[in-house]
Structure 1
Amino acid sequence: MNYRHSYHAGNSADVVKHSLLIALVRTLQLKQGALTLIDTHAGCGLYDLGGEQAQRTGEATHGVLRALADVHPLLDDYRAAVQAVNAGADAGRLYPGSPQILVELLRPQDVLILNEKHPEDARALRGAMRGTVAAVHERDAYELWLAMLPTRTSRGMVVVDPPYEQTDERDRITATLAAAHRKWAHGVTVIWYPLKDRATHEQWKYKLRRLGIPKFLAVEHWLYDADQPGIYNGAGLFIVNPPYAFTQALPPLLEALRAALAPEGHRGEIIADWLNS
């Protein structure tokens, strides 16, 4: 299989995002009922950290490689997910995207629906998912998001992880989330976002608060002790309807992630806060 290269695969944002996704799915699976997992911006599924692009940025050095070297037991599930795709390869060379992590978590009764609009990436995703039960679509992410709701199973989770290359990305997320919540008020939704410009981000959070979604959690990982203008300052997840057991177990997991990923000379911070509290 030809693995795709990525500038950013395995960075600190991936470590936090994938650690929390694993924890969420594990919590939802405490009940035996079937789950439907939907990834709207699935990407390629599997990435080569030894490629020129990844080597040029060195982001994995400050992300996945730190987590792999950390001994905190709360990161065991994340490390196991990375190690699972590296059998027969150089340790830590391959990095699992969200689809690969989700497919490894599936129980026989669960369903996984993946979507990737870009044809080249969709072909790579189909190759990565060959031999699994995952269904792969090649559609507009926001159209698919709404079309798949409500899920055929009584419980489910939607993961929205766009590249934020389009200027209207946040507006599309806001509008689609509002429509999705009307169709599927009890479902779990996870939305990833980068933290660059604090003012723009606060404006978006204000718009999201106005949707009036009752259980709306924001988990934000700020890498530095003060904002660094014009650069990537971290990333976060909006989580709609997080399970109670997940939120109760969240503080020690976030502290373990903060300690593992803090840049040299910075303590960093991971904040979990309800938008509509």
Structure 2
Amino acid sequence: MNYRHSFHAGNSADVVKHSLLIALVRALQHKESALTLIDTHAGRGLYDLNGEEAQRTGECTQGVLRAFADPNPLLNDYRAVVEAENVGAELHLYPGSPRILAQLLRPQDFLILNEKHVQDVYALRGVMRGTSAAVHERDAYELWLAMLPPRTGRGVVVVDPPYEQPDERARINATLAAAHRKWAHGVTVIWYPLKDRATHWRWKEQLRKLGIPKFLCVEHWLYDSDQPGIYNGAGLYIVNPPYAFTQALPPLLEALRAALAPEGHKGEITTDWLGH
């Protein structure tokens, strides 16, 4: 499955992913000690919702625009980071994870971004100019391991690939296993699209067999039954989520489900511990 950020900016997957990422980082920031935030597949960092690629799919109408139309205050933190990238009431720009993480940085925190796609890394360097972020142009999985453990000891690795390569999941499995050996207490967030339950179930079982404790799986299924051959939702694997994050998760997930449910569907957001 090919999932380039620019075609899907601000869709329902972005709303869930970025809402949870904000909550996760803020929970880790309850402690004063420094964090290193690492984004292995950073993309362009900022997306034009009126641009050709975003307009071709129009997915933001079912994502960020729904989140902004929903009055639930639990979505306020998410809305605030998107509003911070825009001037005026109308949303023209959507921040990717790099710009969102940059907004969350405290003076003691560090942000490391990586993007291998030549055009995207050029754009990324432009939109991150003026921030403290370090931008790399390397193989994502090589960088993921090379940066561990971070100098700060505490941190988050965000893995958000386009799933263009047939071996993407196998590389994630192998790199996650190696990363956990190097940095057992580190927090890792892996995003993935959901197309059919059988394929995803097989991958989840492979990851379960890695034997990683404190391994949370959050899945957002848009429709009440699988829609064959199309995008059905997205999920996050989260290694070592902090207690403050998991305690606050149920009401946030319900707010996201309600805001993003397509017409005629309730939708579903589930959590599952792959290891304890």
TM-score bracket, shorter-length normalisation: over 0.9
Q: Secondary structure at the match of 1:158?
A: strand
Q: Give the whole-Å Cα distance in 2 for the aligned partners of 1:67 and 1:39.
A: 24
Aligned counterpart, 2:130: 131
Alpha-carbon deviations, 1:64-103, whole Å to 9, x = none?
Answer: 0010111111100000011000025x61110000000000
Change (3 A) 1:36 1:5: closer
Are the aligned partners of 2:257 and 2:268 in contact in 1 as well (CA < 8 Å)?
yes
Give the deviation of 1:261 after TM superposition: 0.1
TM-score by length of 2: 0.97
Aligned counterpart, 1:14: 14
Q: Give the whole-Å Cα distance in 1 for the aligned partners of 2:155 and 2:275.
A: 22
- Where in structure 2 are the equivalents of 1:1-277 lying within 5 Å? 6-87=6-87, 91-276=90-275
Are the aligned partners of 1:47 and 1:96 in contact in 2 as well (CA < 8 Å)?
yes
Give the deviation of 1:6 after TM superposition: 2.1
Are the aligned partners of 1:15 and 1:63 in contact in 2 as well (CA < 8 Å)?
yes
Q: Give the whole-Å Cα distance in 1 for the aligned partners of 2:267 and 2:217.
A: 17
Are the aligned partners of 1:158 and 1:188 in contact in 2 as well (CA < 8 Å)?
yes
Are the aligned partners of 1:5 and 1:48 in contact in 2 as well (CA < 8 Å)?
no
Give the deviation of 1:56 after TM superposition: 2.2
Are the aligned partners of 1:40 and 1:144 in contact in 2 as well (CA < 8 Å)?
yes
Q: Secondary structure at the match of 1:201?
A: helix
Q: Give the whole-Å Cα distance in 1 for the aligned partners of 2:54 and 2:137.
A: 26
Give the deviation of 1:5 after TM superposition: 8.6
Are the aligned partners of 1:103 and 1:134 in contact in 2 as well (CA < 8 Å)?
yes
Alpha-carbon deviations, 1:15-63, whole Å to 9, x = none?
Answer: 0000000000000000000000000000000000001221221100000
Structure 1 moving runs of 4+ over 6 Å:
none
Q: Secondary structure at the match of 1:6?
A: helix
Are the aligned partners of 2:11 and 2:64 in contact in 1 as well (CA < 8 Å)?
yes
Are the aligned partners of 2:5 and 2:162 in contact in 1 as well (CA < 8 Å)?
no
Q: Give the unaligned 5+ runs of structure 1.
A: none
Question: In structure 2, what residue type is equivalent to 1:28?
Answer: L
Are the aligned partners of 2:156 and 2:187 in contact in 1 as well (CA < 8 Å)?
yes
Q: Give the whole-Å Cα distance in 2 for the aligned partners of 1:131 and 1:194.
A: 32
Are the aligned partners of 2:35 and 2:155 in contact in 1 as well (CA < 8 Å)?
yes
How many pairs are equivalent?
273
Q: Give the whole-Å Cα distance in 2 for the aligned partners of 1:87 and 1:134.
A: 23
Give the deviation of 1:217 after TM superposition: 0.2
Q: Give the unaligned 5+ runs of structure 2.
A: none
